[in-house]
Structures are given as structure tokens and as C-alpha cells.
Amino acid sequence: MAEEVKHPLKKVLMICAKGSLEDVLATLVMANGAVMEGIETKVFFTFFGLDAITKKRMNKLHTATVGNPAMRMPGGLAFPTWLGSIPGVEAGVSAMMKKQIDDLDIPGVAEFLEMIDAGGGEIYACKLAMDMFKLERKDLADEVIDVLTIGEFYEKADGLQTQIIFT
């Protein structure tokens, strides 16, 4: 009989500050994984990361092609940064990335938010970024619990066994 693994980590606070498809998915995959492992999970979306929880933008995220040193072309060759500045290239790369995500049956942003929420994870938006981008609560996904300052979010750590992860 398999023995249940106990994690020393009890709580994780994640901060998503970037809005590219790969950065948002990294946050959502890690948050969902933490929820599935029974770790108390709270995710805070700030600055361009707000796109992941903004209804009009969450399903239109793109892959960053300019200034992404890890970007590779088929065959493993480095993707020249200048190529990403050509009109249509970013959209094409993003479409290819989304197809790979679909082929691997990886959930989309909206589905990940639903899964995290259903598993007991908590999703928050940054008040400062909301004010900067002139967003209102009604612009956000239904899974967003509240709009907080970063100080209010940090207060949710309230313990020694909390890890804060900035993505």
C-alpha cells in the first residue's frame, strides 16, 4: 500500500506579474499542482499578469518573441530576436504554442482558474495595477476573490511554513 507523502510546505503565495502565455501558464500549472498536493494556495495577479484574470484578455495571451533568449525554432536553433518584430510572427508563434498546448491537452487559462478555485485555491488581483490599467472588479474573472494591496496579500502568509513564489 502506498504511503501518503507529507509536504513540509503548508502554504504557498504566488505572484504573477507577467502576461505572456508561457509566464501565465507557468504560474497556473504551479498553482494547480500545489492545490492538487493539498498545499494551501493563493495567487496574486499584478501588472501585466492581470491579463490572465481579465475577461477580455485571458483567452488572447501571446508568446513573447522579442527578447526571449530561450525561444527556439524547430530543430533547436535559436530564434533571432529581430524575427519577432516582423508583423505576424508573434501571432504565428503564439498560434503554434497554443496548438502544442491543445495537443498535450493542457487546460486553457479560464479552465485552470476554475480548477484552482474548485480545489480551494484563492485568486486575487492587485489594487495598484487595477488602478493603473483603469480596470474594475466587473472586468475580472468570476474566480477572483478580491482586489488587494500587496501588503494585504502578504498578510495572508501568516505563518512560518509559507513560501512566496514570484513568477
Cα separations in angstroms, 142 against 22, 70, 138, 164: 22, 34, 8, 24
Measure CA 118 to chain center. Answer: 16
The pTM is what? 0.84
pLDDT band at 166 (very low <50, low <70, confident <90, very high): confident
3-state secondary structure of 99: helix
Q: Which residue has the cell 527578447?
A: 67
11-59+108-166 — its CATH code? 3.40.1260.10
Give the residue with greater pLDDT, 86 vs 56. 56
CB 71 within 8 A of CB 65: yes
Domain locations along the chain: 11-59+108-166
Q: Hey, what's the cell of 112? A: 485552470
